[in-house]
Each structure stands twice: as structure tokens, then as C-alpha cells.
Amino acid sequence: MHPSRDQQLVQIVDAALADTTRRSGKWLVCRPGCTQCCIGVFAISQLDAERLQAGLRQLGEVDPQRAASVLERVRLSVSRVAAEFPGNTQTGVLDDSPEAQERFSNFANDEPCPVLNPDTGTCDLYAARPMTCRVFGPPVRSEDGLGVCELCYHGASEGEIAACEMHIDFDDLEEELESEAETASGHYGQTIVPFALLR
């Protein structure tokens, strides 16, 4: 995957986030130190994994001590979740069978993201964060309807929430880059942040 093309994808998503943030005003309460969305594992793509790995390498160049702290949290996280991981612990790839997906829905829901700095309550790899992190909070449409963070949009009507919907059109580019990342890494399927950074 060419970094500039991933940067293009990130810019599309970040521009959409800036737009929905402007339209949301006081209803979008996301801020540094609010870490609810950083607790509990979630699936990420191999493209996200590649971006996180590059972010960790860059952090290692500018702040080796902080990068070492992230890696230590990664190792501890993997040691806590590996026994129940519904996938391959050697590759970190999640099993995509219905049974494994059911197990994943109840898997490590109290596990903090190892990239979350426990002292600052902020993400140590914020610029390299996965797409899920970039779109969490504002109203985003899925097959289940319009979802928002439960801490946001208090007092807003359904219409007001819908007016703040985050509009992103990057599916084709993202799919293409994800396929390239899978081919480059040799890992096909989704993973989680701790396994992505253990490689």
C-alpha cells in the first residue's frame, strides 16, 4: 500500500468528521480524556493494522520511551486476551465463522486499548488510529440505522441528530487499499489492535 493513498483516505474521513463536528456543535462531546470508546476490543482491517504499525515506528523515532510503553501495554494486553481470542493467535486474524463472530461480541469488552495512554487519557497513536476510531461519536449510518456515541447528542431530537449525520464516501478506495494491505502482509481478514502491534 502506498502511504500517500492511505493519507488520501484519512483526509477524506477527517474532512467528513470536521464537517459533522461543525454541524453538531455542543451535542458532540468527544474530547481528550473521554475514553469510553477506548475500552473493549473491536475489529480492525489489515489496512488499519499497517497504519498503526507505521505510527508506532514513527513514535519510536521521536519518543522511544513512549513507544516502548505502548509496546509493553500491547504485550500485556495480548497476554490477557489470547486464551479467549476467537481467531488465530499466531497471526492475530479473527475467525470469520458465525460461531467465532458470536464469541467476539462478548470478547474482552473491558480490555483497554493498549494505545490509550493511561496517564493522559489520550491516544498515543492518534494520527494513525483505525477508521473505527475516526468515525466513532457522530451519527454514522449502518445497516442497523443511525448510531451515535451514547455520551453525545443528549437533548437532540431524531431530526437534529440526522441533520448531523457524518457523510463519507470512501468505500471503493478503502476496499482497494485493504486488499493491498492484506496481500502485502499475508494476513487476510480482520484483527484487533493488540495483535496488530505485536507483529
**Residues 121-145 pLDDT 10s:** 999 999 999 999 999 999 998 888 8
- Average pLDDT of the chain, as a whole number: 95
Q: Are 92 and 19 in contact (CB under 8 A)?
A: no
64-114 pLDDT tens trace:
999 999 999 999 999 999 999 999 999 999 999 999 999 999 999 999 999
Q: How many domains does the chain have?
A: 1
Q: Which domain holds residue 117?
A: 3-198
Give 14-67 pLDDT, tens digit per residue: 999 999 999 999 999 999 999 999 999 999 999 999 999 999 999 999 999 999
Q: What is the pLDDT of residue 1?
A: 55
Give the tens place of pLDDT for each residue, 148-181. 999 999 999 999 999 999 998 877 999 999 999 9
Residue 130, pLDDT score = 98
User: Smallest Cα–Cα separation from 57: which of 68, 48, 46?
Assistant: 68
CA distance readout (Å), 102 to 9, 81, 95, 97, 120: 30, 16, 11, 9, 33
DSSP label at 141?
Answer: E
Residue 16, C-beta contacts closer than 8 angstroms, at least 6 positions apart: 135, 166, 167, 168
CA 59 to chain centre: 18
Q: Is the dihedral of CA 53, 56, 60, 65 positive or negative?
A: negative
pLDDT at position 124 is 98
Which CA distances in Å does 84 have to 43, 56, 88, 124?
Answer: 15, 26, 11, 26
The Cα–Cα gap between 191 and 45 comes to: 6
Beta-carbon count within 10 A of 113 CB = 25
What is the percent of the chain where pLDDT is above 70?
99
